[in-house]
Homo-oligomer: A and B are copies of this chain.
Amino acid sequence: MKILLSGGAGFIGSHLAEELLAAGHQVVCADDLSLGSLKNIAGLKGRRGFEFLKLDLRDFKKLDALFRKHRFACVFHLAANSDIQAGELDMERDLGRTFMTTFNLLRCMARAGVKQIVFASTSAVYGELKGDLAEDSGPLFPISYYGAGKLASEAYITAFCRQCGAQAWIIRFPNVIGPRATHGVILDFVRKLRKDPSRLQVLGNGRQCKPYLYVDDLVHAILTVWRKAKGEVNCYNVAGKGRTKVAGIAAETVRGSGLSGVKVMFGKTDRGWKGDVPQFGYSMKKISRLGWRAALSSDAAVKKAVKRIWEQEGRP
């Protein structure tokens, strides 16, 4: 089938593009290259069924023209601001790049009669809810504009489904890690150590503890949910087993660096930034009923990602 993949040159999008092509789909990858990069999709260039278009999805007219040119059967919407901290400094960042890209896509889909959307949502929609978060947990009070932009997108997607007779697969990602990441805790640590191999400053007290998911597992989960879930709105949490402490990630990153004598320094606050959710657990009951489970636990994902990101960035 012909698929529009927004954010397809990004960290997760480029991995997903490979799998969609491998499954025999035609993929039109749209990306404004603000966080994505042509390097990420260099291996796909010229491949049969693959097309790339530099496009800012906030530009409704251009997006609408794209929907007139192609007859898409499905949209995978991964384009977003994924830099939570940057969004705290500029309220319009998540509004434009996360929410308005979704709204514009839905408007185009309504006009063109496209009936399937797969949406990259986030654990951040849950805000600071306690306990193992399940898909029907509430209330949903996000604390970052990132989480707000994603929840606002979800809301419009579910209304769109009913209004236009469409189907949605909303997948709530936790921290996703692996090669091609553009930010996140591991990349942050690696870059800091490359700048100053003598010490590593951790944002927050290091006791933040969350599930981490390796990007390959995530891509597999997205495709499983899309293929197997048959409802109008299909909303699924996805994560690996267990959780990992930020202090443990710091230790693993130092170990992976080959450096010795690194002084790891912790902050005093319980979180790295205002909108950081320091602790959460994720219920996997719903997605496990589809027969999916992650190949890597949270700890194993961190270990593998640390190794790959050091290879990607270069050891100091």
Knowing A91-B107, A107-B91, A110-B91, say if A142 contacts B155 (CB, 8 Å): yes
Residue A72 is within 8 A (CB to CB) of chain B in the complex: no
Contact B159 A155 (CB under 8 A): no
Chain A interface, DSSP helix/strand/loop, else mixed: helix
Nearest CB of chain B from residue A8's CB, rounded to whole Å: 25
Q: Does A135 contact B (CB under 8 A)?
A: yes
How many residues on A have C-beta within 8 angstroms of the other chain's C-beta atoms?
38
Number of copies of this chain that the complex holds: 2
Q: How far is the CA of A275 from the CA of B164 in the complex (A)?
A: 11
Q: Which residues of B contact A152 (CB under 8 A)?
A: 99, 148, 151-152, 155-156
Tell me if A158 counts as interface (CB < 8 A to partner B): yes
For A147, give its contact among B142, B159, B274 (CB under 8 Å): B159
Supposing A163-B275, A274-B163, A275-B163 touch, asked if A147 and B139 sit within 8 A by C-beta, the answer is no
| Chain A residues engaging chain B, CB cutoff 8 angstroms | 88, 91-92, 95, 99, 103, 106-107, 110, 125, 127, 135-145, 147-149, 151-152, 154-156, 158-159, 162-163, 233, 235, 274-275
